Structure 1
Amino acid sequence: MNDRPLPRMNYTQYRKMCRLVHECCNYDGGNCILLDDGEGCVCVQSISYSLLCKWFRIAVLPLDKDLAAVLFPARHGLRRCGECGRSFSPPRHNTLYCPECAARRTRRKKREWAARNRGRP
């Protein structure tokens, strides 16, 4: 059994997921066909802030690459930026910052270096 905790979504992620759940082939007017045993059963994914439905995680969530990357960053080869905390796809294994923050840090470091070395002969 998998003992890793299921990712919890914030409200905006939950709203994206609710719009995406309508794309599931097992979703039928608020009910789940897979859980149907004669009478309608509410789709658990449409009412939860966790990713409970395995079918949704495997088949439907990859349709929204941004949401999937935020909820499962390691699976998509993403990393969190050390400066701003956003997820980004690193071009190399030792990249620590997203491209925007890397450019900002480079400019700041050059400015600091120039200020330190301006008065030296």
Structure 2
Amino acid sequence: MAKTERELTVPERRSIRKLVTGSCANYDRDYGCLPLDCECPMLGICYTNSAMCRYFWEAVLPNDPELEAALQALPTKRCQHCGKPFPVNGRRVYCSDKCADDARKKQTAARVRKYRSKAAV
């Protein structure tokens, strides 16, 4: 969870609401939170150290790396390919496998171009 208590900003609350209503498998528009049979507690959360839904932390929050980093107060890095921030995890330099593959293809093309220009001389 978060290291220090702070009030959530309006954009963070908006992002949480969007994730819960759009991505949470336990949320139903008519019934609220299905396991609790009441309104989803994540929709009314105001502070970072509040009791957050475990399912939300483990399954829904990873869909938004920026919000996850803000809520967990982890340092972030910028992806070397696309520039999006992502939580620091070891020595990773790309935010996703797609960015890593795209960067590898670009580096391979540059290396082959350089090799061809040397071979032509």
Q: TM-score, normalised by structure 1?
A: 0.52
Aligned counterparts of 1:12 and 1:119: Cα–Cα separation in 2: 51
2:46 — aligned with what?
52
Please give the per-residue CA displacement for 1:6-58, whole angstroms capped at 9, x wherever unaligned: 23333632414692761464x64x4xxxxxxxxxxxx7754x5xx32723x1x
1:12 — aligned with what?
18
Q: Is 1:96 matched up with 2:96?
A: no
- Larger RCO, structure (CA 8 Å, separation 6 or more): 2
RMSD of aligned residue pairs (Cα, Å): 4.0
Aligned residue pairs total 97
Change in 2 beyond 3 A, CA 1:72/1:88: closer
Could you list the runs of 5+ residues in structure 2 that have no partner in the other structure?
none
Q: Is 1:68 matched up with 2:79?
A: no
Letter of the 2:111 partner, please give it: W
**Percent identity of the aligned residues?**
11
Change in 2 beyond 3 A, CA 1:44/1:12: closer
Greater radius of gyration (CA): 1
Change in 2 beyond 3 A, CA 1:9/1:67: farther
1:109: Cα distance to partner?
0.7
Over 4 Å off, 4+ runs: 77-81, 86-90
SS at match of 1:94: coil
Aligned counterparts of 1:111 and 1:94: Cα–Cα separation in 2: 24
Letter of the 1:52 partner, please give it: C
Letter of the 1:63 partner, please give it: Y
